[in-house]
Amino acid sequence: MARRQEPSMIETFADFKENKNVDRTTLISVLEEAFRNVISKMFGSDDNYDIIINPDKGDFEIWRNREVVPDDELEDSNLQISLTEAQKIDPDYEVGEEITDAVDFAGFGRRAVLNLRQTLSSKIMELQKDTLYTKYKDQVGQIVSGEVYQVWKKEILLLDDEGNELILPKSEQIPGDFFRKNESRRAVVVKVDNLNNNPKIILSRTSNLFMQRLFELEVPEIHDGLITIKRIARIPGERAKVAVESYDDRIDPVGACVGMKGARIHGIVRELCNENIDVINYTANISLFIQRALSPAKISSIKIREEDKKAEVYLRPEEVSLAIGKGGLNIKLASMLTEYTIDVFRDVDIDGEDIYLDEFSDEIEMWIIEALKNIGCYTAKNVLAMDRNEIIEKADLEESSVDELLGILKSEFEEE
């Protein structure tokens, strides 16, 4: 049996035995193909060879099948063996029989061994790259962990559990991020390039997907599909707004995301370098959605221009700064979340004090108040400024309900 390999061959198999990224079946197939390529180059054909690979032990066997022919008819020593030579192996061999004998690959010469080693190294390298690309291509959009290996000015190099390289560019790092060598960090896979069969895995900590995946990890109701994250707006490291929705009326989506005493959201905030996160209820009603997005500011009225996705929001003077927020962050995030350009105006058309409709909840049913908010009326004077028939039509309310509503609102200001 041909198991006398040169040291270089044994080392080659040892390298492949340690390879964890290539499955056993594929590895054996590649090794056999490499042997057959070398044999084919040497003899013109490999059809009469049987190759047995055992990567676990780091060895192999090569068997050559030849036909026994009369001594004077020997034409191809690779495919045939003379009767005299065959009977030296076993005296019982006769002409026409097939003889199988072991081949010492090292006996093919040093050049053949080197050729095989180079072929194997090249094939395994390609396999590793293909496997790595396929693995991470399937993980785009998912969170992965890596150990910080090198910290450079323009990017961070992390290594996964198998020693594969992951790249976190500076542009994908949260401004408050600080990396120490050998510490474990999480990020989301955003892109996998494969230029010239050289996989490059790009990570991100600023992507909205990273925040979404963190919510899925921290909030079981999101992971189970009971709560859906509809939209996310982020200014990484500063502030974010997340719109959530539940299809189960028994579940409070905002409360579930925040958790008892903020327990669930605190873990996400810490991961994101203390990024402030506002969680709000999603609604398809754009007027109400903009109102919620501008929280904690309270809106007096709103005018929606759907054709160019713009909204004019009117607020009391003391509410304007809340709507805009520090450094303009609140209104910027609200615009990003609602996908509407929001312009804020001081409500100077209302003389004297006004009253928010929510304060009439003991006299007016909440579903009527919500119907009024849906048409952009958030205060008493917003409603009183509208024509009676316009309220009936736009808010889809009964005449009697509107008359009762107007009576309550007018009496409030008459008393004043």
Residue-wise pLDDT for 343-385, tens only, equals 888 775 555 577 888 888 888 888 888 888 777 777 888 788 8
Return the top range by mean pLDDT from 30-44, 243-257, 341-355. 243-257
Given this model, what pLDDT does residue 5 score? 44
Given this model, what pLDDT does residue 41 score? 81
Residue-wise pLDDT for 129-138, tens only, equals 888 898 899 9
Residue-wise pLDDT for 46-85, tens only, equals 889 888 887 666 677 888 899 999 988 888 888 889 989 8
Confidence class for position 24, pLDDT limits 50, 70, 90 = confident
Confidence class for position 16, pLDDT limits 50, 70, 90 = low
Mean pLDDT computed over every residue of the chain: 85
Confidence class for position 4, pLDDT limits 50, 70, 90 = very low
Using the predicted structure, report yes or no on whether residue 187 has a pLDDT greater than 90: yes
Confidence class for position 14, pLDDT limits 50, 70, 90 = low
Q: How far is CA 259 from CA 215, 222, 253, 264, in A?
A: 11, 13, 10, 5
